[in-house]
Amino acid sequence: MINNVVLVGRLTRDPELRYTGSGIAVATFSVAVERPFSNAQGERETDFVNCVAWRKTAETISNFTRKGSLVGVTGRIQTRNYTNNEGRKVYVTEIVCENFQMLEPKSVTEKRAQNEGANTGGSGYSNSSNYSQNSSSNYSQQNNQNQAPRNKQSNYANFDEDPFESNNDSIDISDDDLPF
């Protein structure tokens, strides 16, 4: 079976870097991707795709990209769930970023950041989902510990470690729940 995703677009917000209770870096971000066709009004619509990166990739994305950065992301689609504060099960579909590429020079990104400071218009993208507010905290929710410092040294040798290994919940999804 094939589960491969390739995206090219701009970050809709600065990546949010956190650490799990065991010190593994995780970054969440969203990429705005224009559709290759126009709608009935002749306009191209934009999709806002939620992404998550782990370990060194997460730290690199957090350190070298910001809102508006043009990036290429390759990875896989993942669906997970968690129970929110109201006791309701929430399903999250996201792209697990395995590789990424910065697609513009650093000077262009810095110039855009300076212009955003003077102009509130920014890149024109706004993330319409509540992804960062509702689900990104789920990665560190089980251990309920404070964020580790950015310079924390972590062991990246074990890439086969499954961060969801202790989660024994099964995913019950019907065909009607899938967006495709």
The listed range with the strongest mean pLDDT (11-15, 129-133, 174-178) is 11-15
Q: Residues 37-52: what's their mean pLDDT?
A: 90
pLDDT band of 19, cuts 50, 70, 90: very high
The structure tokens listed for 99 are 């590789």
> Which pLDDT belongs to residue 169?
66
Q: What is the dihedral of CA 59, 65, 68, 73, to 10 degrees?
A: -60
> Which pLDDT belongs to residue 125?
46
Q: What does the mean pLDDT of the chain come to? A: 76
On the question of pLDDT at 171 being above 90, the answer is no
pLDDT band of 132, cuts 50, 70, 90: very low
What does pTM read for this prediction? 0.60
For the ranges 74-78, 124-128, 159-163, the lowest mean pLDDT is seen at: 124-128
Q: Residues 62-89: what's their mean pLDDT?
A: 93
> Which pLDDT belongs to residue 151?
42
Distance CA 4, CA 138 (A): 24
Decide yes or no: CATH 2.60.40.10 for domain 1-37+44-107: no
